[in-house]
Amino acid sequence: MIRFLIIFLALVQSLLFWKNKKKEPNKILIAHNLLLGDTLLIAPLMKRINEKYPAARKYTFAKPAFVPFFENLPYGFNALSFNPKSFLSLWKIFFAGPYDLTFIAGDNRYSWLAKAIGSRWIIGIEGDRPQWKNWMLDEVKSFDLGHATWADMMGRLVDGKNPKPYQKNEWSRPQIQKLLLPNDTSKPYVVCHLGASNALRFWPSNSWREFIEYLKMQGFEVVLTTGPSEGHLIDDIDPRGIYNHVPGTYSLIEMWKLIESAALLVSSDTGIAHLAKIAFVPTITLYGPGSNLIHGSGNFWVNQAYQFVTVDSYPCRDQDLLFRRKVLWLKRCTRSVKQCKTPGACMEAISPEKVIQGMSNVIN
C-alpha cells in the first residue's frame, strides 16, 4: 500500500508540477536507507552541503537505531527517523518538507519518495538498476573514473570544491553516563572488534589469539567486542575470560565512547571501523572481501591515523559493482557464504605479522 501511494504521488508531482533548482535552497534533504557504516560515510556530503548552503535547514534520513548519532546536529543536519514500511515515519518526513533540494545517497529508488513528498530538485548518481529507479532524478552525477572512496564521491554530489578534511570532534558524540568496563582500564587499551555483518569478513580465531598475545606483551589491555548475537566469537578466542568482553551489549553511542578512548581499534571492514573515522581513533582495518579503495580513509579522513591490511590482488576479489553501478577500477567481493567457493580464505591470508607491522604506522 505504501509503495503504491509513493508511486502515485511521485507521478502526480512529476506530471503536474514543474520544478526548478533554486539557487539558494531553504530546505535540503539527503534521502537513503543505508546501514551504519554508509550512514556515517555520508559525512563529506553533509559537510559540503553545510559549507555551500550554511543558512539552509538540513535533514537526512536515518534508520531509527541511528537517529541518536545526530543528537548534536552534525553539520547542521537533523535526522528524520526513516522506516520505509511505516506510514507514520513517512508522514513525519512529509510534514518536515517540502524540500528545495534533495540528494540521493546510494539507492535511487528513494528519488521516488523524494518526488512524492514534493522535492523541487533531486540529484543522484546515474546508472542504478533497474532503470526505473533513475526516472525521478532531475540531475545526475557519475562515479569517479579513477580511484576514490565512496565517501569522497558522495561529497562531490555538491557542485564546487571538495569539503575540507575531517577534524577531530567535528561530529560530536552525544553525552552518556560514565562507561564502565569489567576490568581496570587505567592502562592504554586496544579494542579488537571481532564481528562483521558478513561471516566472510571474520578474521580466524587463531590469528586473533596470536595478535592479542602480542598486544598483551606490549603492555596493552585488550577489549574484545562484537555485535549482537556474536558472543560466540569471544568465547572461541578467549574461553577463560582473560580479557575485557563487550559481547554486543553496548549501544552504538556507548561503542563510540569506548573506541574514542582507545589507543587503537582493530576491526574488519564493518560499521564499527567507519564509526572509528567519526571518533577519530587510530584504526587498523582488515580487508578480505572488501576494498580499501572504496571504504578507506580517502581525502576526507586523511588526517586520521589509519592503516589498512589486505592481500593485494586476491584472485576472487573480482567484482566491480558499487550500489549496482559498474566501477571499472573497483575490485572487491560481495558474495555470500553460500556463494563463496573458499569461505574465509581471503581473511585467513592476512597474517598477524602484517597487522603487527601496521601498528607502527598508527601508534607512536
Instruction: Give 348-359 pLDDT, tens digit per residue.
Output: 999 999 999 999
Q: What does each C-alpha distance from 145 to 148, 153, 294, 329 come to in angstroms? A: 9, 11, 13, 8
| Helix boundaries (H) for the chain | 2-16, 36-40, 43-52, 87-96, 110-116, 150-155, 205-217, 231-237, 252-260, 271-279, 292-295, 345-348, 352-359
pLDDT at position 22 is 84
Percentage with pLDDT > 90 across the chain: 87
Report the percent of the chain where pLDDT is more than 70: 98
Residue 183 pLDDT > 60: no
Sign of the C-alpha dihedral, residues 247, 250, 251, 254? negative
Confidence of residue 184 (pLDDT cuts 50, 70, 90): low
Q: What is the pLDDT of residue 86?
A: 92
Q: Is the pTM of this model over 0.85?
A: yes
Position with higher pLDDT, 179 vs 189: 189
User: If pLDDT is split at 50, 70 and 90, which confidence band does 187 have?
Assistant: confident
Q: What structural domains does the chain harbor?
A: 2-155 (3.40.50.2000), 189-359 (3.40.50.2000)
Q: Read off the pLDDT of residues 88-140 as tens digits, 9 standing for 90 and up.
A: 999 999 999 899 999 999 999 999 999 999 999 999 999 999 999 999 999 99
Chain centroid to Cα 347, Å, comes to 20
Model confidence pLDDT, tens digit, residues 7-56: 888 898 888 776 778 889 999 999 999 999 999 999 999 999 999 999 99
DSSP category for residue 140: E
Neighbours of 159 (CB within 10 A): 10
Q: For 224-268, how does the pLDDT look when each residue is reduced to its tens digit (9 = 90+)? A: 999 999 999 999 999 999 999 998 888 999 999 999 999 999 999
- List of residues 6+ apart from 14 with CB closer than 8 A: 115, 136
pLDDT of 180 reads: 67
Burial 169-206 (b: 16+ CB within 10 A, else e): eebebeeeeeeeeeeebeeebbbbbbbbebebbbbbee
